[in-house]
Amino acid sequence: MPSKKQQGQKKVHSHVIMWILLCLIGQVMYVPPVYSQGRDDWESVRKGFENPPDDCWPHTRWWWPGNPVSKESITWQLAQMRSHGITGVEQITMGPLFEKGNIPFMSDEFIKMLTYMVREAERLKMEVSINFGGPGWIIGGDWVPENERSKDIVPTSVIVKGPEIYNGRLPMDLTRTERSWEIPQTRLSGEENLLAVVAGKIEDGELKYGSFQLLTDKVSDGNINWAVPAGTWRLMAFWLKRNGDEPAVDHFSENAMRRYCDFFGGKLYAAFGDAFGKTVESMFIDSFELPNSASGIYWSDDLLEKFKRQMGYDLTSYLPAIWWTVDDISPKIRYDVNRFLHQTGIDVFFKTFLDWCQEHGVQGRIQPYGFTTDNIQAAGVTHIPEMEITPGEKDQHPWYDTRIGPKKYVASGAHIYGRPVVSAEVYTFMHWERYRATLEELKIASDGYLRAGATRFYNHGYSFTPEKQIAPTRAIGFAANISHTNVWWPYYPLLASYVARSSFMLRQGDFIADVAIYSPLANQWTHNVLNARKWTREFDWGELGNLILSNGYDFDLVNDDALQNLARVDDGKLNVGAMTYRVLLLPNIEAVPLKTLQLIESYVKAGGQVIALDRLPATSTGFKDNAANDRAVREIISRMFDGTGEKKYGLGKSFFIPGVIYRPIWWDQYASVFDPFLNTLRKVVDPDFAIDFAREGLRHNAGLSFMHRKAGERDIYFITNIQDRASE
């Protein structure tokens, strides 16, 4: 419920209450697609709620395992979907489950069947999205030339002691890390491309940069002749190699990406004709799940030269700092390498794909995490960003999933960069066993996605099978079966209607959140370059998401790009893109770009409120001018904070509160009414959704949640209990 203060400021219209009630009882009804974002014509909103547009109804991922399809079965399954409230498909080819009848991917026969599917979808007034590669969710295919496939840079090294003459082979053994996605290769084949050889002296367990010698020119046919100076040295070689056998395209090569888009997308464009941009509304790229070689990071042929042009210095002699501790410069170099790989990923992979889509009249839909790019900015540049991670997933994630992960990163990017529709891969792996998920569980999970900001659902999903009855051996084994093979299929339209109405309402107006949390990505970039596949880059958010969401607040994550290039300070508020925030949190941040901190200082001076949690920033990011930038960061922090609590600064205030994010001891788990962080937050800004814990006799909130949007003068609240029991 809105807080008392907010009740005095604004009127929550009865239409909002009507939405909440009607979400429970509507029938399956359709009208032609419209885009409803930002409307304030309430009569049209009422009609849209009663008859949600087609693009608000659930869509589904439609797996074709081996493509054993026929025209008859395509028509029958599309009709099943349409009659049960599914108005769109995302077609993806997977590996075969059948011994016979499979059609080779991208063959002429496959293209004919795909084209027939598009025409049938057009006849049924359904939308089509195509997975942009395959088989599987790889961005690639066997047509990609070997020299245009994905690559890594990997290190090899050996310890040598001098003085002596080292005359022998370069080290070839690879060092495995604990990354689960590494290729189990322990030695180079000898066919790799040598990029550089560097030697550094070891003192007190660290490499000393002042001792570094660039030895690449001393290598001949894989052998090196080097006069080793006195002391203990590490001889390091850096190689460019293919990262596995999968034919994934080189994500960092603009030429490879353009040729890939022109070939794969071009075949579809030629086949589908005028359906492209109409029935065929988008091309899809799944989350990035490329393997890495042992200790490898994603790389490409010309990146050392590009790094020199973009970052202003030659990385070659600094390469050891990516993998080893080099004096005190490793964090600075790692940040620069991460920032460079982020920008290269945006400029080459995202931009090339999205530009191709735009040139051909379709939208690009991407799950933007698991790659080198900033999840928030990557979501922001994507036409339709997509989230995942289902509440209750794999029998281990909580229903009331307040963890800060892909859903919040993607939604924040959409809010900040102005993407009105956020799609979601929903119901993935709710249980390890197939057919266990119930409609009640799907309803709870749906609310979790709606609350997180998703307004177009892609069920995960529907397996193509010639059988019209349940045949478990014919179904994809890693997903819920939301199809004619499930016993509750006749009742699924009730859930589809609920999702459609809710999605329609949650596209109205703009998202409202008073709290902005500074994204810790720059901080994480100083630690590690090897963890790009980790969706939060291994930042420990602890209980912060739960503390905020369970106590009547909502928030966005705000990245450096937005703060440096989009942010404006106005009347003590932080305006970022279309969003307005009333308080900024710094969550356990040690390193911060100087330009970002300067913006934060100007915000506080103008009346803003900033709360630093657990620690105060102490260092800058990046190698160039790092000593001067470090001093500037420390000076700003000493001006803004007193290190013990609250401080007035300019027209605003700063707060420092330790022990908020990581609370390992039971007596640190305060009840909500006594929590120091929450009481400070309440002092700065009232909750948007007030819960009187003391009156209700609650220690904490276990599932009651909300989403707030504002359309013109009207406030829209989505209120839900995201758990498998009543909230009393």
Per residue in 90-127, pLDDT tens? 999 999 988 889 999 999 999 999 999 999 999 999 99
Q: Determine the Cα–Cα distance for residues 229 and 315; give it in Å rounded to an integer.
A: 24
Cα distance between residue 79 and residue 121, in whole Å: 9
Q: 40-64 b/e with 16+ CB inside 10 Å = b?
A: eeeeebeebbebbbbbbbbbbbbbb
Distance CA(415)–CA(330), nearest Å, equals 34
Is the CB of residue 598 less than 8 Å from the CB of residue 618?
no
- Do 32 and 57 fall into the same domain? yes
For residues 486 and 539, state if they share a domain: no
What is residue 399's predicted lDDT score, i.e. its pLDDT?
81
**Cα angle value 88/93/98 (rounded, 5°):** 120
CA–CA distance, 49 with 22 (Å, rounded to integer): 9
Choose one of 508, 523, 548: the last residue of a domain.
508
Same domain for 491 and 376? yes
Q: Confidence class of residue 366 from pLDDT cuts 50, 70 and 90?
A: very high
End residue of a domain, out of 467, 486, 508 = 508
Please count the helices (runs of H) and the strands (runs of E) in the chain. Answer: 22, 26
Is residue 358 in a domain?
no
Residue 258 has pLDDT above 80, yes or no: yes
Cα angle 178-182-186, degrees, rounded to a multiple of 5: 90
Whether 721 maps to a domain, the answer reads no
CATH of the domain at 398: 3.20.20
Element (H, E) at 694: helix 693-696
Tell me, what's the pLDDT at 478? 81
Whether residue 387 contacts residue 401, with contact meaning beta carbons closer than 8 Å, is answered with: no
| Tens of pLDDT, residues 623-679 | 999 999 999 999 999 999 997 899 999 999 999 999 898 776 544 555 667 789 999
Tell me whether the omega of the peptide bond preceding residue 135 falls within 30 degrees of 0, making it cis. yes
Q: Is the dihedral of CA 288, 291, 293, 299 positive or negative?
A: negative
Residue 88 maps to a domain: yes
Residue 178 vs residue 238, higher pLDDT: 238
| CA nearest to 621, candidates 528, 521, 522, 531 | 522
**Is the pLDDT at 619 greater than 80, yes or no?**
yes
Q: How far apart are the first and last CA of the chain?
A: 14
Res 398 pLDDT > 90: no
Same-domain check for residues 525 and 486: no
Residue that is written with structure tokens 């395992």 in the block: 65
Which pLDDT does position 8 carry in this prediction?
37
Reply yes or no on whether the pLDDT at 390 is more than 70. Answer: yes
Q: Residue 56 and residue 89: Cα distance in Å, rounded?
A: 13
Distance CA 536, CA 374 (A): 9
Higher-confidence residue of 389 and 513: namely: 513
The pLDDT of residue 24 is above 60: no
Domain that holds residue 434: 1-146+262-288+367-508
Answer whether 198's CB lies under 8 Å from 236's CB.
yes
The predicted-structure confidence for 33-49, as pLDDT tens digits, reads as follows 334 444 457 889 999 99
Do 37 and 13 reside in the same domain of the chain? yes
Q: Which amino acid type is present at position 464?
A: F
719 within some domain: no
Report the run of H or E that residue 117 belongs to, with start and end: helix 108-123
Residue 229 structure tokens: 């100076």
Instruction: Looking at the structure, tell me whether residues 271 and 376 fall in a common domain.
Output: yes
Peptide bond into 331 cis (omega under 30): no
Model pLDDT, residue 4: 38
- 302 with 281, same domain: the answer is no
Q: Decide: pTM greater than 0.75.
A: yes
Average pLDDT over residues 438-460: 96
Instruction: Give the dihedral sign, CA 653/654/660/661.
Output: positive
**Identity (one letter) of the amino acid at 61?**
R
pLDDT at position 598 over 80: yes
Distance between CA atoms of residues 363 and 91, nearest Å? 15
